[in-house]
Amino acid sequence: MKPGPSMFVVWALLSFANAAPSTAATLTVRRDGTGDFAIIQDAVNACASGDTILIGPGRFNEGTIVQVPGWTELVRVLVTVEDLTLIGAGPQATIIGQEADWDLSQGWHRGVQTATYWGTRRLVVEGIRFENMAYAINDDDIAVVEIRNCAFSGNRYSVGDSGGSLLIASVEFERVKRNGVHLVGWDHERLRVSNCTFSHVPDGTWAQSSISVAGVRDGLFEDCRFVGGMGGLGVSSGTTASIRRCRFENMSTGIYSGSGCNLTVEDCTLSGQRLALRLSSDWTVRRTIITDVSYISLWITEFGQGVMNDCHLAKGPRYVVSNGHEPRGAAKSLVHYDLTNNSWGTTDPDSIQAWIWDAHDDPEAGYIIDWRPYVGEPIPTTKRNLGSVKSLFR
């Protein structure tokens, strides 16, 4: 009997069910010739989507000139597959980049480069050290980028990333070059940075920064350490982000936010800063300790909604809190910032008020700092118990 349409459908479904499932491949790169390839790019060129490349010990500095609209640069690893994982033998063993220091005369050469331009949607990088390049890892609008257990040293930009989701965990960033930034990103739907260290070699001439991101819709920075440089962690262009349990040491500005941002800072410590917090728009700061500032603890640069509670603040040469925005004029309604239940380093209310620059000093300032009750002042029984906060400063 000639099979009808229904029998053909059954046959097709059974054939599909019995077909052998496709599996992702694992390719190896070994300097000694014992792997599938000796050069990373050759392995990438042989990959299909979903494959993993295991990279053995050694320095990998081979590259090719890549031309796309807008730039022509040397690239060591150009990723052109949809989904790829690169795993090294550890950041002390597998190195991508040159041995000599990078400078601008060498051009904007790159380590790992990819983008949706080449059809890439997901990139995972683990266990690799990136040294002495203009861009160590650079991508554009990829859906998912994950970087774990890596190290970056001597690069102008360690990670440059835009769009999609970016995860960075257990990574060491050091020695960013002049006017460089360890992590620069923009327009992320989701950004996660955890258990990382960002450090800088002292340089009185060049503005070195750790993190600068813009337009992030959901950002979270946890359990990171920032040491030295001009700026620690900066967000701008309407970013919404939280910073938790991070340490900032010996830099010009620890945390700063730009126009339209909504920033939450919790359980952080900032020491040895010139300016600890430089905040705009909306912000909340809780359980954060600021010590040893050479200028000021909190600098308000744009009106918004601000709350700072259960914190320890430090006095600079004159003020603890001041502002950097234009006066609003005495006739306009005053903006109130809630800075109650904090320790100011004194229990004298006259001293605390003298250390705050607001409409009490200049009616045109446009804002008032509400700071009472404060740690050291008798707290009404209707207020919450601050015993645990007080114990931090005894």
- Residue, of 211 and 15, whose pLDDT is higher: 211
Going from the C-alpha of 105 to that of each of 10, 38, 102, 133, 291, the distances in angstroms are: 66, 29, 8, 12, 41
Mean pLDDT, rounded, for 278-297: 96
Q: Taking the mean position of all CA atoms in its chain, how far away is CA 179?
A: 17
Dist CA 260 CA 169 (whole Å): 27
Residue 378 preceded by cis peptide, ω within 30? no
φ, ψ (nearest 5 deg) of residue 377? -95, 145
DSSP for residue 8: H
pLDDT at 363: 81
pLDDT at 6: 42
pLDDT digits (tens, 9 = 90+) for 199-228: 997 755 567 899 999 999 999 999 999 999
pLDDT at 2: 40
């705050």: which residue's tokens?
A: 356
Least confident of 254-268, 284-298, 348-362: 348-362
Where residue 111 falls among pLDDT bands split at 50, 70, 90?
very high
Residues 322 and 315 sit within 8 Å (Cβ to Cβ): no
Dist CA 311 CA 322 (whole Å): 17
Dist CA 225 CA 208 (whole Å): 15
Please say if the pLDDT value at position 7 is more than 70. no
Question: What is the pTM (predicted TM-score) of this model?
Answer: 0.88
Q: How many residues does the chain have?
A: 394
Dist CA 150 CA 178 (whole Å): 22
Going from the C-alpha of 327 to that of each of 17, 180, 333, 339, the distances in angstroms are: 72, 34, 12, 20
Please say if the pLDDT value at position 20 is more than 50. no
Q: What percent of the chain has pLDDT over 70?
A: 87
Mean pLDDT, rounded, for 92-96: 98
Mean pLDDT, rounded, for 114-135: 96
Per DSSP, what are the bridge partners of residue 60? Answer: 96
pLDDT at 334: 86
Mean pLDDT, rounded, for 331-350: 90
Please say if the pLDDT value at position 128 is more than 60. yes
Where residue 125 falls among pLDDT bands split at 50, 70, 90?
very high
pLDDT at 178: 83
Mean pLDDT, rounded, for 39-47: 97
pLDDT at 366: 85
pLDDT digits (tens, 9 = 90+) for 350-372: 999 999 999 888 888 889 999 99
Mean pLDDT, rounded, for 270-299: 96
pLDDT at 1: 38
pLDDT at 154: 95
pLDDT at 147: 98
pLDDT at 388: 44
Please say if the pLDDT value at position 85 is more than 80. yes
Mean pLDDT, rounded, for 307-315: 97
Mean pLDDT of all residues in the chain? 89
Mean pLDDT, rounded, for 120-130: 98
Residues 194 and 173 sit within 8 Å (Cβ to Cβ): no
pLDDT digits (tens, 9 = 90+) for 179-202: 899 999 999 999 999 999 999 977
pLDDT digits (tens, 9 = 90+) for 321-330: 998 665 555 5
Residues 257 and 282 sit within 8 Å (Cβ to Cβ): no
Return the closest-CA partner of residue 160 out of 140, 179, 177, 144. Answer: 140
